[in-house]
Amino acid sequence: MSREPNYEFQEWWNKQREKNHDFFTNDSNNANKGFLTVEIRSLNPDLTTEKDRSRSARQLSWICLLRFQQLANSLAWITNSFLLLLRTANRRISAADSPSDSSASRLYRIIKFFLFLVVLLLCVELVAYFKGWHFSPPSAASAEAAVELFYALWLEIRADYLAPPLQSLANVCIVLFLIQSMDRVLLMLGCLWIKIRRIKPTASMEYPMGRVETGNVDDYPMVLVQIPMCNEKEVYQQSIAAVCIMDWPKERMLVQVLDDSDELDAQNLIQAEVQKWHQKGVHILYRHRLIRSGYKAGNLKSAMSCDYIKNYEFVAIFDADFQPAPDFLKKTIPHFMGNDDLALVQARWAFVNKDENLLTRLQNINLSFHFEVEQQVNGVFINFFGFNGTAGVWRIKALEDCGGWLERTTVEDMDIAVRAHLCGWKFVYLNDVKCYCELPESYEAYKKQQYRWHSGPMQLFRLCFLDILHSKVNKAKKANLIFLFFLLRKLILPFYSFTLFCIILPLTIFLPEAELPAWVVCYVPGIMSVLNILPAPRSFPFIVPYLLFENTMSVTKFNAMISGLFRLGNSYEWIVTKKLGRSSEADLVAFENESDSSVTETTSFLRSSSDSGFEELSKLEVTSRRSVKTKRNRLYRMELTLAFILLSAAGRSLLSAQGELTVGHYRCHLESEMQVTLTQHL
């Protein structure tokens, strides 16, 4: 292989030759005596020398044309992407709305008009800012242009006509906010007192833990367990299994699976699961209604109308996604013994997916405060709280005494609790008995749930207000039901949270003559948020998202409250909360397999089931998995519109960062200038 030329040496040699030209070359007169001229030149061009890159006019025109084509393609791509984004957003916003969204059309139109008004005011303030009118507002008398006259009239109108009523409404909301905050503080003090004194309900007896002996069952009362469900294909197995393996004598317990499913494959799956547990010796029945009237309340009412119900003393209710512990009945039933006036024993909810995403973490904050503080304090001090609809045990006599399940509202659990309280029955809340369940993991499911939870109490308040006034309970209980249970916690809370922080606060930025104190906007909400998070201390890093989330949800809660109070939209329609089938028992299947060895021969009471039936069950499960389609996220127009309103208000507040003179300040400024001028003349 030939050696590569040494360019560095050649370059050095040529430089040396140029410096010592006389030494290396002969003079023209001494050509024969001088040294021989030596010149080494590289055949390759010098790499450090740049080649002339001059282009012709034709080449330049082609380059410009190529650059223009690339720019046009980029602009076309950006335009198409933007249009695709707009079409996708419009398609998702205008998708089929839920009942809560359809009933909110009036409120949405109001908020949309409010957004238009806010954007218009922001444009006016931008013009005023660039004109410098924030520091020296023009007056109607000295206005030279139409724009100055319009702005001067606007300042006078907002100071004399708009700011006073807005300030009055703000003062009313501030008073309601302080009352509700005081209620929260008192609840926290009550909870602190319970923790310090270690107060908790005690039972007069206890059942031994472990398997019940077959001969010692007389001390165990007859218990009816109900599992209402509707198209619960994701959770039916774990809920039925959790109830069937509870530690209670089999002959002293009957399980009712109350299926309201309108899907045939869901009915077949649930019925096959019931048959499987029949064969294992569990007294379990499958009930299905052809007509789903009254939703959950109608389902429970239909189940309680059976003749064999008279043989049972207590009824435990679990929704389809609830998984009670095996010792649930042994921890709740003893509280009824010796307390003949006790109607309900309510257990606490615990969540298997509270750390699944940000939405479930924020829900856990609210529900932890509800169970740890509200339910516990009300249960200890006044023996009354709202039944949560599940994870509770009722005395059947109390249900019959207060009229049973009624189909008049979508909160049948709260309805039966209020009527039982008016009949003189007492409630017990067990904070240390937990029943695992599942939180909604999508915003759509959570929004539907919150709509029902906030519209139902207003329906109930309209229906039972006169019953509360005419009841035989004392005045303290009547006042607690009307002012605290319904008005303060179910009506005032969503009213002021939406009105004060979503309407009045942005308006005060555009109408600075109406003011909100800093402690109303910042300090008190911050303190209340800290108090709400105290029952869930692990959620402290999410305090800022929690504040924003509550502000967002106030729109849905306010709309639900108004719809329920005035019977607007589909406020009486029940939407089943979507579940995903999260399990809290990792060894549930292993426990079920171990129980197979204790399977006994079934009597004529049990239905027959063959192996081919289970093969068909497997086929149905595979088909149901294949039929599941990935659901895209929707864009929620009310929340987006409200976000743009708050964003416009934030833009307006940036203009005020340089300082601003209101009409009142400007009048004071003019008066002071006139006084100075008059003094100088005098």
- Catalytic residues, which ones? 260, 413
Q: Provide the residue type at 2 as one letter.
A: S
Q: 294 with 397: CB under 8 angstroms?
A: no
- 231 φψ region: left (φ > 0), alpha (ψ -120 to 50), beta (else): left
H/E stretch holding 470:
helix 443-470
Q: Provide the residue type at 366 as one letter.
A: N
Q: 335 with 203: CB under 8 angstroms?
A: yes
Print burial letters for 94-130: b (CB count within 10 Å at least 16), e (below 16): eeebbbbbebbeebbeebeebbeebeebbeebeebbe
- In angstroms, rounded to a whole number, what is the distance separating the alpha carbons of residues 193 and 188? 9
What is the residue whose two structure tokens read 């929690």? Answer: 546
- In angstroms, rounded to a whole number, what is the distance separating the alpha carbons of residues 325 and 305? 28
Report CA-CA distances (Å) from 216 to 213, 220, 249.
Answer: 6, 9, 9
Q: In the structure encoding, which two tokens stand for residue 9, read together? A: 């040496």
H/E stretch holding 76:
helix 57-93
Question: In 3D, which of 348, 340, 533, 368 has the Cα closest to residue 435?
Answer: 348
Whole-angstrom Cα Rg for the chain: 39
Q: 305 with 224: CB under 8 angstroms?
A: no
**Which residues on adjacent β-strands are paired with residue 434?**
348
Q: Which residues contact 3 (CB under 8 A, 6 or more apart)?
A: none
Burial of 308 (0-12, 13-18, 19+ CB in 10 A): exposed
Helices 611-626/264-279 angle, 10° precision: 140
- In angstroms, rounded to a whole number, what is the distance separating the alpha carbons of residues 250 and 329? 13
